Amino acid sequence: MADLLEKLGFAKLQNVIIYGLIAALVLALIAHGIALSDYNWWAFIVRWLHVLSGVMWIGLLWYFNFVQTPSMPKIPDDQKPAIIKFIAPAAFFWFRWAALSTVVWGLVLAYLNGYIADALMLGIRTGGGKPTAIGIGMWLGLIMAYNVWMIIWPNQQKILGLVECTPEEKKAAAKPAAMASRFNTFASIPMLYFMVSAQNIY
């Protein structure tokens, strides 16, 4: 199996992504067809892109908090540069852009489905229910995305040596980056609950 996948080009990530998209389209055609003229189908595609982006974003958030950060003290000092110079910058690239992509597709989805104003107002105009649930999820997601771009990433650039700073600035950057990341991990739990409940309870 491994040899076959290698011959198909699975060693290159871009091939895997292309094959995944082709498989999704082919299986969608087989399962229920693709209705290019159907508004609901396009709204679903936006939801799918929102979910794909969210999986990347929250997956990396949890990787940082459940795997990388707790493992760093256990890694020998001579091996830490590999994480700091290669793995962490790549992970933060996908992390921050997945956060932005999740927010953008989520706002587009809310607009297409006609609930963006009600959700952002937490369902006050409509008496609660689904707009309140999705609104709580949206606001938590917006706060988390703000943390990524305005607190975590600027401080991580100092920690990873991607921008010039003094040793004192580098040391001072660790706490706000860590606490914003921990806050986002905390907020991701109710955020995911309300995002999913809005689609399944109401």
CB 137 within 8 A of CB 187: no
- How many structural domains compose the chain? 2
DSSP 129: S
Q: Within this chain, do residues 86 and 6 fall inside the same structural domain, yes or no? A: no
CA atoms within 13 A on the CB side of 176: 18
* Cα dist from 142 to 15, 79, 111, whole Å: 32, 36, 15
Q: Within this chain, do residues 120 and 160 fall inside the same structural domain, yes or no? A: yes
* Structural domain that includes position 92: 42-200
Q: Within this chain, do residues 18 and 118 fall inside the same structural domain, yes or no? A: no
Q: Within this chain, do residues 86 and 9 fall inside the same structural domain, yes or no? A: no
Q: Within this chain, do residues 178 and 105 fall inside the same structural domain, yes or no? A: yes
Q: Within this chain, do residues 46 and 30 fall inside the same structural domain, yes or no? A: no
Q: Within this chain, do residues 164 and 109 fall inside the same structural domain, yes or no? A: yes
- Walk along the chain (202 residues) and give the pLDDT tens digit of each residue: 999 999 989 999 999 999 999 999 899 888 877 777 888 888 999 999 999 999 999 999 999 999 999 999 999 999 999 999 999 999 999 999 999 999 999 999 999 999 999 999 999 988 888 999 999 999 999 999 999 999 999 999 999 999 999 999 999 999 999 999 999 999 999 999 999 998 888 7
Report the pLDDT value the prediction gives residue 78, as an integer from 0 to 100. Answer: 92
Distance CA 23, CA 108 (A): 25
Query: What distance lies between CA 44 and its chain's CA centroid?
Result: 18
Q: Within this chain, do residues 171 and 87 fall inside the same structural domain, yes or no? A: yes
Residues 6+ apart with CB under 8 A from 46: 105, 108, 109, 112
Q: Within this chain, do residues 52 and 129 fall inside the same structural domain, yes or no? A: yes
Q: Within this chain, do residues 30 and 48 fall inside the same structural domain, yes or no? A: no
